[in-house]
Chains A and B, each alone.
Chain A
C-alpha cells in the first residue's frame, strides 16, 4: 500500500528565504507523486506532479520538486518565499497503474513572515 510522510506540520520562513517542504513516500510500484496547495477556505490546487518523466519537476508559482528514488523522497522547494505562499501544502501518491485515487500526507502549513 502507498503512503506519504510529510515531516513538519508547520514551517515558518522569512519572506525571500528558501522554502523546503519534505515528503517521503512508500510504494510497492513506481509511483505518481503530487504536491497540492490549499489556501485558506479554498479547495486544493495542483502545484506540480511527477509521472516518470524528468526527475526535477517545475510547477506553478516558482515551486519545484525533485524525485529521488534512492531516498524515496519528493521534497518541495522554492528559492524565495513570498507572503502569498502562506498556505497548507499536501504531498500525495498514487499507483502508476492504479485507480487514480490519491493518498495524501498530513500536510504542512507554511507561514511566511515579513
Chain B
C-alpha cells in the first residue's frame, strides 16, 4: 500500500485566485491521478500525471485551468486557477497500487471552498 499526504487539507479561497495542492507519496510511483469530487457527487478524473512528461487531461479539463507538475516519482501538484464558486470541491490525489492490480490508493483529499 501507499501512504499519500495532501496539503492543504482544506482551504477557503476568494474568487479569481489560484491555489496549489500538493501530493506527497511515501514510495516511488509511475502514475499519479488527480480526481475532483464536487459536493454530493462522485469522483471525476481530472488528469493523469506521469513523471517526466506532460499530464494527460480528461475531456472537460484543460491545462490552463488545472496545471499539474510532476517533478519526481513521489510528488505532484495540482493548481486550480482563477477559481470560481463552481470549483468548490474535494480534490483527491491517487496512485496506482503495486503489482498492476488496477487498485488505486487515495489521499484524504483537499476540500476547497471558493467564495
Contacts and interface: CB of A to CB of B under 8 A. Distances in A.
A83 B35 CA distance: 29
Instruction: Tell me the interface secondary structure of chain B in the complex.
Output: strand
B108 interface: yes
Interface range on chain A (Cβ under 8 Å from partner): 20 to 34
A34 interface: yes
Contacts of B100: 100
A105 B104 contact: no
A43 B92 CA distance: 8
A44 B92 contact: yes
A96 B100 CA distance: 9
B53 interface: no
Interface range on chain B (Cβ under 8 Å from partner): 20 to 34
Given A32-B101, A49-B101, A99-B48, A107 B106 contact: no
A43 B102 CA distance: 18
A36 B97 CA distance: 14
A20 to B, nearest CB: 19
B104 A51 contact: no
A10 B19 CA distance: 33
Contact of A49 (B41, B103, B108): B103
